[in-house]
């Protein structure tokens, strides 16, 4: 992270406040057609950072037209794999060269500590672009040994072709890294893109668009249009968009599926989660407690994989809960620009109200607040909320069943292994799960029994560009990362050639 993040934020402030941040459409920075702007707010202070051009349906239409034109342009469509890879490597290099600026921008726009934005958002994005740059020269088709009934001599081969114009809608909890997760494989596959960042956190997406142009990526290949729900809906429903990728809530994901039927465009979704953390009586409780606390309090709990349901065996439940509470107490709450901060604010007042409301729901349902549950003392400004543990939870409670998307852990105890599996799977979601045990047989048995896209054993929240990420049930469609992500942005074509 920057040696003095406060100083860098102060240095950036005059330019941010002097003029609105503009949309990036067809290689140019442009105002919204309506002329409207909206404020983006620093979650640590509640104060305005900058005005941002308010993209709407008309701007989305212009961006789609630019992306379609760029997709049909031989300068992009016929670019060699080596040259396309070089552009992605160059973009990664530029992100690296501007890492401190991007880390501070993300910190003041999202609220998470600058050390985390540097590590997760910026370094993660660099790795993502470099990883998918490597795929460009390795992603293709194959020849297949067909056996036609006619006895004809046939050469059959497949090709991988870009799906076309891709609309990418990313959330506010990991703004830059989620953009990279989608933009990198889309460009690697040869698509053109309209990136729609969350209205709460548009700054790094716009800077990414600027760096893409600086890297030499042709005009119209990457367009960035910040806006609200009407812009997202226009992108989803536009008949000239071939694919939509979305990360966000399950409720919005369902709306996207309905909107995409206008032309049956391809859809991939990474949606909500209510991940169980399962602790067996033989587990290393100190290690488990540290990981459980990180699993729910990392990024202030604003993580789709957050381990928000704790299932601790009755014999170790109370001890484990005390250890997790000790971990929560060690978190340093404050402005993310402070190097000592390990726990920042929630992203917005709306999110603060949501989390606070769920804690009150938990109390009314009979759960006990072990720690947290309110605004921390000394943090009257901004959207700070204490790391919170609810004990005495039961499977029917809303705080156990519904995604809170905040730093709230609901703790339950268990004794019967079969009932444990039933409870862990009794959810609309299936994004991830954690298991803590020193019994290798039990670990594999539970990993196989839990319905989730990712299962961590004696660890939590580990991700890598090489391994698939996504969920079962209402946690989404498709998998990001690796070859799976490249397949999301491509079509496969079978070619038959009669050699007889």
Tell me: pLDDT of 1 over 80.
Answer: no
Mean pLDDT score, 362-384 = 97
Nearest to 161 by CA among 81, 83, 215, 53: 81
The reported pLDDT for the residue numbered 330 is 97
> Contact 154/499 with Cβ under 8 angstroms?
yes
**DSSP structure string for 120-152:** IIIIHHHHHHHHHHHHTTT----EE----TT--
Residue 213 CB partners (closer than 8 Å, separation 6+): 24, 27, 219, 222
Tell me: pLDDT of 345 over 60.
Answer: yes
Q: Which residue has the tokens 């003392």?
A: 377
Residue 191 bears catalytic tag: no
Q: Which of 106, 199, 270, 480 is catalytic?
A: 270
Q: How far apart are CA 90 and CA 177, in angstroms?
A: 17
The reported pLDDT for the residue numbered 149 is 87
Mode of pairing for the β-strands spanning 165-169 and 192-196:
parallel
Residue 213 backbone dihedrals phi, psi, to 5 degrees: -65, -40
Question: For residue range 141-191, what is the model confidence (pLDDT) as tens digits?
Answer: 999 999 998 889 999 999 999 999 999 999 999 999 999 999 999 999 999
Nearest to 164 by CA among 230, 213, 221: 221
Confidence bin at 34 (pLDDT 50/70/90): very high
Mean pLDDT score, 252-277 = 97
Question: For residue range 390-409, what is the model confidence (pLDDT) as tens digits?
Answer: 999 999 999 999 999 999 99
Q: Which residue has the tokens 């090709």?
A: 159
> Contact 386/376 with Cβ under 8 angstroms?
yes
The reported pLDDT for the residue numbered 3 is 58
The number of beta carbons lying within 10 Å of the beta carbon of residue 351 is 23
Q: How far apart are CA 371 and CA 386, in angstroms?
A: 8
Confidence bin at 109 (pLDDT 50/70/90): very high
Tell me: pLDDT of 2 over 80.
Answer: no
Mean pLDDT score, 353-381 = 97
> Contact 156/143 with Cβ under 8 angstroms?
yes
Please, is 154 exposed, middle or buried when counting C-beta atoms within 10 Å of its C-beta (0-12, 13-18, 19+)? middle
Question: For residue range 47-59, what is the model confidence (pLDDT) as tens digits?
Answer: 999 999 999 999 9
The reported pLDDT for the residue numbered 151 is 87
Question: For residue range 51-98, what is the model confidence (pLDDT) as tens digits?
Answer: 999 999 999 999 999 999 999 999 999 999 999 999 999 999 999 999
- Give the chain's mean pLDDT: 97
Question: For residue range 302-315, what is the model confidence (pLDDT) as tens digits?
Answer: 999 999 999 999 99
Q: Which of 107, 304, 403, 480 is catalytic?
A: 304
Strand order in the sheet with 143-144: 143-144, 154-162, 490-498
409-424 as b/e: b if 16+ CB within 10 A: bbbbbbeeeeebbebb
**DSSP structure string for 62-114:** HHHHHHHHHHHSHHHHT--HHHHHHHHHHHHHHHHHTHHHHHHHHHHHH-S-H
> Contact 272/403 with Cβ under 8 angstroms?
yes
Residue 107 bears catalytic tag: no
Strand partners, 80: none
> What percent of the chain has pLDDT above 70?
99
């Amino acid at each position: 992270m920057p040696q003095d993040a406060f100083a860098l934020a102060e240095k950036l402030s005059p330019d941010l406040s002097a003029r609105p941040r503009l949309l990036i459409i067809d290689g140019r920075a442009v105002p919204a057609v309506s002329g409207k702007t909206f404020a983006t707010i620093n979650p640590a202070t509640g104060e305005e950072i900058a005005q941002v051009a308010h993209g709407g349906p008309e701007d989305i239409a212009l961006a789609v037209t630019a992306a379609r034109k760029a997709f049909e342009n031989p300068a992009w469509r016929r670019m060699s794999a080596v040259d396309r890879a070089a552009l992605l490597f160059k973009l990664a290099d530029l992100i690296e060269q501007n890492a401190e600026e991007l880390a501070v921008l993300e910190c003041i726009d999202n609220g998470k500590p600058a050390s985390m934005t540097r590590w997760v958002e910026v370094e993660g994005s660099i790795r993502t672009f470099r990883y998918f740059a490597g795929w460009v020269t390795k992603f293709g088709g194959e020849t297949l040994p067909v056996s036609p009934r006619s006895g004809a001599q046939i050469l059959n081969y497949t090709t991988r072709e870009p799906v076309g114009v891709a609309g990418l809608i990313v959330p506010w909890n990991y703004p830059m890294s989620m953009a990279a997760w989608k933009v990198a494989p889309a460009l690697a596959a040869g698509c053109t893109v309209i990136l729609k960042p969350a209205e709460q956190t548009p700054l790094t997406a716009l800077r990414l668009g600027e760096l893409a142009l600086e890297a030499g990526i042709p005009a119209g290949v990457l367009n960035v249009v910040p806006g609200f729900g009407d812009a997202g809906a226009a992108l989803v429903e536009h008949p000239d968009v071939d694919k939509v990728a979305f990360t966000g809530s399950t409720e919005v994901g369902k709306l996207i599926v309905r909107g995409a039927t206008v032309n049956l465009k391809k859809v991939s979704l990474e949606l909500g989660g209510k991940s169980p953390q399962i602790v067996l009586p033989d587990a290393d409780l100190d290690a488990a407690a540290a990981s459980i606390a990180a699993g729910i309090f990392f990024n202030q709990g604003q993580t789709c994989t957050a381990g928000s349901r704790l299932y601790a065996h009755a014999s170790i439940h109370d001890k484990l809960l005390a250890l997790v509470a000790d971990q929560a107490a060690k978190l340093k709450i404050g402005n993310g620009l402070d190097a000592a901060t390990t726990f920042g604010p929630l992203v917005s007042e709306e999110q603060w109200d949501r989390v606070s409301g769920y804690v009150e729901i938990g109390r009314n349902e009979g759960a006990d607040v072990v720690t947290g549950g309110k605004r921390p003392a000394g943090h009257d400004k901004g959207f700070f909320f204490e790391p919170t543990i609810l004990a005495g939870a039961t499977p029917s409670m809303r705080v156990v069943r519904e995604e809170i998307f905040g730093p709230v852990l609901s703790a339950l105890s268990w004794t019967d292994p079969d009932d444990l599996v039933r409870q862990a799977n009794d959810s609309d979601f299936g994004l991830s799960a954690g298991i803590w045990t020193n019994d290798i047989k039990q670990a594999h048995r539970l990993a196989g029994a839990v319905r989730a896209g990712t299962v961590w054993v004696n660890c939590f929240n580990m991700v890598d560009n090489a391994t698939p990420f996504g969920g079962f049930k209402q946690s989404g469609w498709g998998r990001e990362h690796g070859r799976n992500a490249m397949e999301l942005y491509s079509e496969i074509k079978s070619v038959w050639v009669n050699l007889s």
